[in-house]
Amino acid sequence: MTVRQSSSQAGIDMLLRRLSAVSALSAGVPECAARAFQMGRAVPARDLIVRDGNRENLVKVLVSGFACRYIYLPAGRRQITAFILPGDLCDFGFLAASPASQGAVALAPSVVMVAELDRFASLVEQQPDVMTAVLRCAAIDQRATQERLASLGGRNALHRVGHLLCELHFRLDQVGLVREGNVFELPLTQSELGEALGLSTVHVNRTIQTLRKLGLAIWRERLVTLPHPEALASLCSFDPGYLEMPRD
């Protein structure tokens, strides 16, 4: 019972951290949100979180772990279109009353928290701030996709990898998941990185090594360290503007 309580609370906390990074929330939100969402469910690595084309009428939030959205090219190649971090909504299809446009899959053992769409709708009705925040998250998601498009269109391998590391560092920091010394967990394989960046596994590997030799990023045993985040950001011309909402 206590376990369920605390586990559920952790999920709500994470969601609130994410939402409040994006717009101010009024005082009643935590309680209302807690009523809308069910307890988190564990999802093993590689398990589907959202099936492509579904119509479940559920709003899903990643509580912990690591996930991604993807689409398949007919050639069999999988293109990762977005990384889903703790606090993030897994899919924004529900906003348009449309089926999920793409699948989402856990890349590491994860916990996912779910709300029925009608319960979420009444949450939003009581707490309009939440709607604003969610729409802003969707807008940021869209911008991040576009930024990655620009990466694939115009940056070389080194800049792509570095830029993505900067993005993940920034986003994880927003929800309090970066440790002392700019260290964070990155439970991805190099091949998955490649699927997101349009690079082969081999080349991702070599690029990581270059970054290590440059002293700009050390990635070992699922842990990434960025010794000089500003230097890396400037090398890859990473500007977090696209991940934030301007304060009014």
Q: Which residues bind DNA (CB under 7 A)?
A: 156-158, 189-191, 198-203, 205-206, 208-209, 220
> Which is nearest to 84 in space by CA: 63, 115, 99, 98?
63
Q: With respect to DNA, which residue has the nearer C-beta, 146 or 209?
A: 209
Q: In the bound complex, what is the minimum distance in angstroms from residue 83's beta carbon to a second copy?
A: 13
Q: Name the residue nearer to DNA (CB basis): 158 or 214.
A: 158
Torsion of CA 50, 51, 56, 61, to 10 degrees: 0
* Beta bridge partner(s), residue 191: none
How far out from the chain centre does Cα 61 lie? 10
The set of residues, in sequence order, having a beta carbon less than 8 Å from that of 80 and lying 6+ positions away, is 68, 69, 70, 192, 195, 196
Residue 17 interacts with a second copy (CB under 8 A)? Answer: no
Q: 157 or 178: whose CB is closer to DNA?
A: 157
Using CB distances below 5 to 8 A depending on partner kind, what does residue 243 bind out of a second copy, DNA, none? none
Q: Got the DSSP string for 156-190? A: -HHHHHHHHHHHHHHHHHHTT--BTTTEEE----H
Task: Give residue 201's Cα distance to chain centre.
Answer: 22
Min CB(78)–a second copy separation in Å: 9
**142 near a second copy, judged by CB under 8 A:** yes
Our finding on whether 77 is near a second copy (CB under 8 A) is yes
For a second copy, which residue of 146, 179, 215, 230 counts as binding (CB under 8 A)?
146
Binding segment (CB under 8 A) for a second copy, from list 36-44, 117-125, 192-200, 212-220: 192-200
Whole-angstrom distance, CA of residue 224 vs CA of residue 222: 7
Q: Judged by CB under 8 A, which stretch of 28-36, 41-49, 68-76, 164-172 contacts a second copy? A: 68-76
Asked if residue 98 binds a second copy (CB under 8 A), the reply is yes
